[in-house]
């Protein structure tokens, strides 16, 4: 048990998933589509948006594709957790974020055939796409996995 920290990681994953679904629910029920609420002036706004595709609207409307990809991604990640993340907290965290992020958007795609987005940042480039908590978890998860593999880990087990 200690080596896989299943319980703590399950708690983290459920919290991320709950925050994702709650924020999407609030945006979808409390805001008009396209409505924008400035939080940090022009730099960060909450804008009610929908996307039936992946990042940057790729594969628009291809729900079956998304269902299949997500199921494979989650199964692969669970397998990878079992085989490669033993005694490796950083990798366990990265995988947990990836799974909860993928499930967050999966729920939206199943229920509405589109994803609710609301985080509108004017940070990187002007047309940086509007995203949500699930996307953030996926992106942080990808970054953690890259750090783990290329910087700290090379997949080695913690002493
Ligand atoms: C984040 C992954 C996208 C997420 O993938 C998912 O669901 C998982 C389950 C997997 C997809 C089914 C397939 C992945 C396709 C590859 C891809 O997409 C390359 C991604 C690069 C990425 C680095 C990881 C950069 C940044 C993205 C964005 C900013 O994220 C902070 C833009 C988010 C906005 O376009 C927003 O409208 C998207 C909408 O919410 C639906 N989200 C998805 O499809």
Domain definitions of the chain by residue range: 6-153
pLDDT, tens digit, for every residue of 54-94? 998 899 999 999 999 999 999 999 999 999 999 999 999 99
Q: What is the ipTM of this complex?
A: 0.93
Structure tokens at 42: 């022009």
pLDDT, tens digit, for every residue of 101-151? 999 999 999 999 999 999 999 877 777 899 999 999 999 999 999 999 898
Among residues 108, 117, 120, 127, the one annotated as catalytic is 117
Lining ligand 1 with CB less than 6 A are 51, 54-56, 66, 69-70, 73, 102, 105, 115, 117, 129-132, 135-136, 138-139, 142
Q: What is the pTM of this model?
A: 0.92
């Amino acid at each position: 048990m200690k080596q896989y920290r299943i319980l703590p990681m399950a708690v983290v994953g459920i919290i991320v998933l709950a925050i994702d679904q709650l924020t999407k629910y609030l945006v979808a029920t409390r805001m008009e589509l396209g409505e924008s609420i400035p939080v940090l002036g022009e730099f960060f706004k909450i804008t009610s948006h929908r996307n039936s595709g992946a990042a940057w609207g790729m594969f628009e409307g291809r729900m079956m594709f998304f269902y299949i990809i997500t199921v494979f991604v989650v199964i692969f990640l669970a397998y990878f957790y079992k085989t490669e993340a033993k005694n490796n907290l950083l990798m366990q965290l990265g995988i947990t974020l990836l799974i909860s992020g993928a499930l967050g958007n999966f729920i939206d795609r199943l229920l509405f055939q589109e994803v609710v987005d609301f985080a509108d940042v004017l940070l990187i480039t002007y047309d940086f796409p509007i995203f949500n908590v699930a996307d953030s978890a996926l992106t942080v998860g990808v970054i953690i996995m890259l750090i783990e593999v290329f910087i700290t880990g090379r997949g080695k087990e913690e002493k």
